[in-house]
Structure 1
Amino acid sequence: MNRPKISFGKINLNLNKAQPSSTNQTENDQPASIQGGFKKIGKDEMQRNIENVTDDLESQHLKDVMGISGFGRKAKTFDINAEIERARKSAPAKPDASDDKSQEGNNDDDDGTIGPLPPTDSTKQKPNSDGEEDDDDSEDEDDNLENKIPDTHEVQMQHGTKAVLALAGDPSGGRVVSGSIDYDMCFWDFAGMDSSMRSFRTIQPCENYPIRALHYSVTGDMILVVSGNSQAKILDRDGFEKMECVKGDQYITDMTKTKGHTAQLTAGCWHPFTREEFLTSSMDATLRIWNNFRSKEQKIVIKTRAQGGLKTIPSSCTYNRDATLIAAGCVDGSIQTWDTRKMFVNTTHCARNAHQKGSEISSIVFSYLGHQIATRSCDETMKLWDLRSLKTCLHAWEGLFSRYDTTDCCFSPDDRMLVTGESLPKGQNEANLHFFDTQTFQSVKTIPVTTSHIIKTLWHPKLNQIFVGCGNGVVKCYYDERRSFRGAKLCVVKTYRKKKHTEMIGVTQIITPHALPMFRQEKSKSSRKKLEKDRLDPVKSKRPDLPITSGQGGRVASSGGTLSSYVIRNLGLSKRVDDDQDPREAILKYAKDAAENPYWVAPAYNKTQPKPIFSEEPDAKKPKTE
């Protein structure tokens, strides 16, 4: 079936023709819409109107979606070359404060230019009136190095009674280990300690050898232990042994032919970013690089030589931050470095007369940037060196007495200060911790620490806390309440909970299996069974009162389970009342007393009312008569 199609007429809009009357319209004429007709406009004007309406609709929709009221002014386009030329012209002249204000006023008047401009003196951002004091204070604090030292609070950790020769901190800042001359190694866990600051584990990893150096691996899961023995050990995070280096053959002259050290160890450290590699130094005049997976033999042997080619003992060794250099401080007072990317035959840098000959360089450490080296020696000096010119030191601080050959120094996390401790000299009451500026070489601050020697100093970069190992077995921690993070701050707020001590009394028991029950001695029970029996006893276990219930066993079950009876008995409002007694009989007990000594109602009606007459009991029912 063919149905007729519904079609619509085509609507044509002729925009080419212009209405002649529209050009002749004056300001006083009324609009065409008011006159009852439509005004014809040109094609360009129509297109502009359509674009304006479209932009308005899109911007309004975007505003509604984003929930904002407006986008502000449009940025003015400018010529970058012209702005750079204008900046070059205005750069040599430094305006005064008044000129700055006038220039700021001119910039505010320029409403059309919005956006980043080339950096000029006139466009430097100035602090607001609200933040001027804060900015000034922050600048003063940054300039003042003394304010950067975290020493506002102090915490003491007791390692033992002998000198603490080694300290090491976990890279994450969760734990610290300390080693002493009394062969003990203590583990300190900040997350598990309380305000008593007691270590959670104490071990003797190297039997009867003092702990000379400790160092955490880059991942923090292994600890290098360097003792007075010739064999270094690797422990895991909890103190269990993972590896022990092999001992070399003492009867071989060439140290490169032996598989390990043949004399006492002096120092050691881990590779900065390779977790399986570590470095040790020994009195056999060698440095050896080890691999954690190969405990039977070292990887590389480095020999330290004196001026005439003879052997010299390295007393300290370390890597730089990017592991491109290995540095060693020797007993002859020399500093020697080797490049790890080359053969270890010749030294890369060598300073023969760095310190006094015959005095051990007890510590050598690289700065965090890697351009400077600090050395601490037993000749009572500490020196700062620049790797680019190692012939002369930048500065030497003298008068720093050190009694132990493990006394060290360390850089601050920003390399602006150098920290070291001193041993207690004669005639002095306290040993001090010294802070020196690495740029001006002036003393920044001196902190009195203890009445004993200061041996180890550790400035943890992540915690921003300073740990100091003393000669009396004390490890002190200095921190700032605002600048330090976690670490000892987690422990000082925790209180120590005392444990309940159980007393054990030994009693001699005589076993008499055939004795009469009245003479039979009770068997001694274990403490666990005794506690279980006491738990069942309501008196010994101090069981609280059971809640009020209608069943038996409650606190008011003997005389009723109602709440009113319980309240009456406890508040003392009446004498004890038995709930099972007849209430009429209970009231009639007080009838005689109420008649003789009236108190409430009878005195009020005594004069106005006659004597009350109570109705008598009715007679018995008469029998029915027929």
Structure 2
Amino acid sequence: MADGDDDYEVEELALPEDDPMRKFLPTSFGKQKREANIAAQIEQTKRTADKPAPTAKAKQQDSDSDDDDSDDSSEDDEDEYPVSHELVLKTHDRAVTSVSLDPNGGRLISGSLDCNVNLHDFASMTPTTLRAFRSVDPWETKASASSESHPIHHVQFSHLSGSVFLCVTAHPQAKIMSRDGDTVTEFVKGDMYLRDMHNTKGHVGEVATGTWHPTDPNLCVTAGSDSTLRIWDINYKRSQKDIIVFKSKTPGTAGRSRMTAVAWGAAGQGGSNVLVAAALDGSLVMYSGNAPFHRPTAEVNKAHKSDTWTGGIDISSDGRMVVTRGGDGLIKLWDTRKFKEPLVTVEHASTSDRYPMSNIKYSPTSTSIITGSATGHLHILNPGNLQPEHVTPITPGAPLIVVDWHPKLNQIITGSANSEIHVLYNPTMSTRGAVEVMSKAPKKRHIDDDPSLTMDQTLGMSGDSIVVPGSQLHGNRKGGVTASGKSRDPMRPQVQQITPFMRSQPDEKHISENIPLSRMLHEDPREALLKYANVAKEDPLFTNAWKSTQPVTQYAELSDEEDGPDKKKVKR
């Protein structure tokens, strides 16, 4: 070191560049701050899927264009639609039948054929913790963990508040649940022995789907297999607010047909709300969105093929156009002002035979229409001619059942038959949601967080633990409980279920501690009195004043021949 110079020169260890010892030497000193590489994390979610082979019509349209133009158009499609990146959530065990985001886009709910509703919070997820914070079975009660469960048909957040969501299962009763998964309202079930559906206070058959009122957060509508549409006030569960009974004109149906889909659109310019529903007999009916609902404003008897499930129906943002996806393999576009014949009809493979919940949705601005396919592709259609503008594979080989496009996040959520939820987004076009998740640093994990690295899996204990004699007999037990509250340990006795009869019968410990003289409940009163016979004779309490002067009672002695006192003569 030179005199007066404050700079120090540290001599480095002279090692060749290819020396393997270099990887064990530190590159810097002191505590290092580990920062996440956001760009690299987002780049990992970039989709590499290409467009599928074009159809004959697409080939004919592309025959006039050059190869360079087609490549440029495909790149432009990725920039136009939020489909360049994806976030995959695997939180269900069976096919995902419904997905919904709250109005702010912070919470995602999903329903599945595994009878569970999973709740996801984007704010609490990180790239390494992509899981649901709660899984709820709507029909599982605390009193009976083995209660019957039902597949989830439809879940949907309220359009305005987002504090509650509508939950429709394979059951006559729909539910209103909070954003945390708690039951707020359970609508009543109707009397199945009544023939006239106008007199029932609820559905008497399985509910297929439902939706919310476009402007009133307290109203929702449900469509059931009892040939009715019922409008509910979520603050009054004992009876529906209005009822629409659909009368089928198909011979042999006795005037009834299952309602398969319903949509409630906002009012157009200078118009009113529109309520459109589809039935199993192929009919399509439209009502004015405001009561009374005495008769439909328009009806098409053979909108789709009879006895095919029309599960997809949606209304454009201006309330003028209606798009339907039927079980007959057709997508049709309708005009509410001329609701007699479809404007456009195109072929599209149906998945309603296996998954009746298959839907079709307008984009938030109604400039596109999205739907899934049986091959697992996402189809983005032109709203004018229903021709595909962009087709991309999501879950190849597994049908794509449900789709949704959030207006604020500008992200597309899909649910597939392989139990996967895909959140499609574009880092430059989308906000929050999946972008927020991938912009976080991965959660730091300690080695002790992984039991497979610190535990002996054969015994279920660490290598440094003290082994007590006889403890190995139960070392392979599984700890914890399932979602229904049952123990994972097969040898552990189950907690006795609390039945309604047991709730009304207090236990013996409570009786003995809180009720005076409760121990005398099962005691013979004659024996209890005989205990004090000698005490009462020796030390009388009430007759002690005339104890010495008390006369002795004497009874007359009678022989067997004597009849005793004179008996009264019986009058004849």
TM-score (norm 2): 0.61
| Greater Cα shift, 303-312 or 359-368 | 303-312
- 5 Å matches for 1:356-505? 356-402=305-351, 403-424=354-375, 431-450=376-395, 451-494=397-440, 495-498=442-445, 500-501=448-449
Structure 1 counterpart of 2:227 = 285
Q: 2:188 aligns with which of 233, 246, 249?
A: 246
Structure 2 counterpart of 1:321 = 266
Structure 2 counterpart of 1:274 = 216
Mapped pair 1:182 → 2:114: yes
Shift of 1:175: 0.9
Cα distance in 1 for partners of 2:309, 2:317 equals 24
Cα distance in 2 for partners of 1:442, 1:247 equals 43
Instruction: Tell me which amino acid in the other structure corresponds to 1:395.
Output: V
Which digits, 9 at most, give the CA deviation of each residue in 1:356-383, with x for residues without a partner? Answer: 1111110211011111001111111111
Provide closer, same or farther for how the CA distance between residues 310 and 493 of structure 1 changes in structure 2, counting only shifts above 3 A: same
Q: 1:195 aligns with which of 120, 127, 134?
A: 127
| Greater Cα shift, 242-251 or 308-317 | 308-317
Structure 2 counterpart of 1:135 = none
Which digits, 9 at most, give the CA deviation of each residue in 1:76-102, with x for residues without a partner? Answer: xxxxxxxxxxxxxxxxxxxxxxxxxxx
- 5 Å matches for 1:559-598? none
Cα distance in 1 for partners of 2:348, 2:105 equals 33
Shift of 1:340: 3.3
- 5 Å matches for 1:10-159? 147-159=79-91
Contact residue 375 and residue 382 of structure 1 kept, 8 A: yes
Cα distance in 2 for partners of 1:203, 1:441 equals 38
Which digits, 9 at most, give the CA deviation of each residue in 1:160-185, with x for residues without a partner? Answer: 23100111111111111000001011
Structure 2 counterpart of 1:210 = 151
1:490 is paired with a residue whose SS is: helix
Cα distance in 2 for partners of 1:386, 1:201 equals 42
Instruction: Tell me which amino acid in the other structure corresponds to 1:457.
Output: V
Structure 1 counterpart of 2:166 = 224
Cα distance in 2 for partners of 1:206, 1:436 equals 38
Contact residue 379 and residue 388 of structure 2 kept, 8 A: yes
1:261 is paired with a residue whose SS is: coil
Cα distance in 1 for partners of 2:469, 2:79 equals 70
Instruction: Tell me which amino acid in the other structure corresponds to 1:194.
Output: T
Q: Percent identity?
A: 32
Contact residue 159 and residue 178 of structure 1 kept, 8 A: no
Shift of 1:342: 4.4
Cα distance in 2 for partners of 1:282, 1:226 equals 10
Cα distance in 2 for partners of 1:165, 1:159 equals 13
Q: 2:247 aligns with which of 302, 305, 312?
A: 305
Cα distance in 2 for partners of 1:493, 1:401 equals 38
Contact residue 290 and residue 299 of structure 1 kept, 8 A: yes
Contact residue 206 and residue 227 of structure 1 kept, 8 A: no
Cα distance in 2 for partners of 1:316, 1:175 equals 25
Structure 2 counterpart of 1:67 = none
Shift of 1:292: 1.3
Q: Higher helix share goes to which structure? A: 1
1:361 is paired with a residue whose SS is: coil
Structure 2 counterpart of 1:353 = 302
1:439 is paired with a residue whose SS is: coil
Cα distance in 1 for partners of 2:433, 2:346 equals 31
Structure 1 counterpart of 2:24 = none
Provide closer, same or farther for how the CA distance between residues 153 and 250 of structure 1 changes in structure 2, counting only shifts above 3 A: same
Contact residue 281 and residue 287 of structure 1 kept, 8 A: yes
| Greater Cα shift, 498-507 or 146-155 | 498-507
Contact residue 304 and residue 313 of structure 1 kept, 8 A: no
Cα distance in 2 for partners of 1:324, 1:276 equals 16
Q: 1:331 aligns with which of 280, 293, 309?
A: 280
Structure 2 counterpart of 1:165 = 97
Contact residue 329 and residue 363 of structure 1 kept, 8 A: no
2:124 is paired with a residue whose SS is: coil
Which digits, 9 at most, give the CA deviation of each residue in 1:56-109, with x for residues without a partner? Answer: xxxxxxxxxxxxxxxxxxxxxxxxxxxxxxxxxxxxxxxxxxxxxxxxxxxxxx
Instruction: Tell me which amino acid in the other structure corresponds to 1:380.
Output: G
Cα distance in 2 for partners of 1:370, 1:344 equals 18
- 5 Å matches for 1:600-619? none
Instruction: Tell me which amino acid in the other structure corresponds to 2:134.
Output: R
Cα distance in 2 for partners of 1:414, 1:148 equals 13
Q: Mark the structure with the bigger radius of gyration.
A: 1
Instruction: Tell me which amino acid in the other structure corresponds to 2:178.
Output: D
Cα distance in 2 for partners of 1:506, 1:212 equals 52
1:491 is paired with a residue whose SS is: helix
What's the RMSD between the two structures over aligned residues? 2.2
Cα distance in 1 for partners of 2:123, 2:390 equals 31
Contact residue 219 and residue 233 of structure 2 kept, 8 A: yes
Structure 2, gaps ≥5 residues long: 1-71, 141-148, 456-460, 471-572
Provide closer, same or farther for how the CA distance between residues 440 and 380 of structure 1 changes in structure 2, counting only shifts above 3 A: closer
Structure 1 counterpart of 2:28 = none
Which digits, 9 at most, give the CA deviation of each residue in 1:484-542, with x for residues without a partner? Answer: 111111111331332544866585489xxxxxxxxxxxxxxxxxxxxxxxxxxxxxxxx
Provide closer, same or farther for how the CA distance between residues 481 and 186 of structure 1 changes in structure 2, counting only shifts above 3 A: same
Cα distance in 2 for partners of 1:301, 1:440 equals 35
Contact residue 273 and residue 319 of structure 2 kept, 8 A: no
Instruction: Tell me which amino acid in the other structure corresponds to 1:296.
Output: R
Shift of 1:414: 2.1
Contact residue 100 and residue 108 of structure 2 kept, 8 A: yes
Cα distance in 2 for partners of 1:466, 1:354 equals 29
Cα distance in 1 for partners of 2:176, 2:305 equals 34
Contact residue 285 and residue 312 of structure 1 kept, 8 A: yes
Cα distance in 2 for partners of 1:177, 1:506 equals 45
TM-score (norm 1): 0.56
Instruction: Tell me which amino acid in the other structure corresponds to 2:241.
Output: K
Structure 1, gaps ≥5 residues long: 1-139, 425-430, 511-626
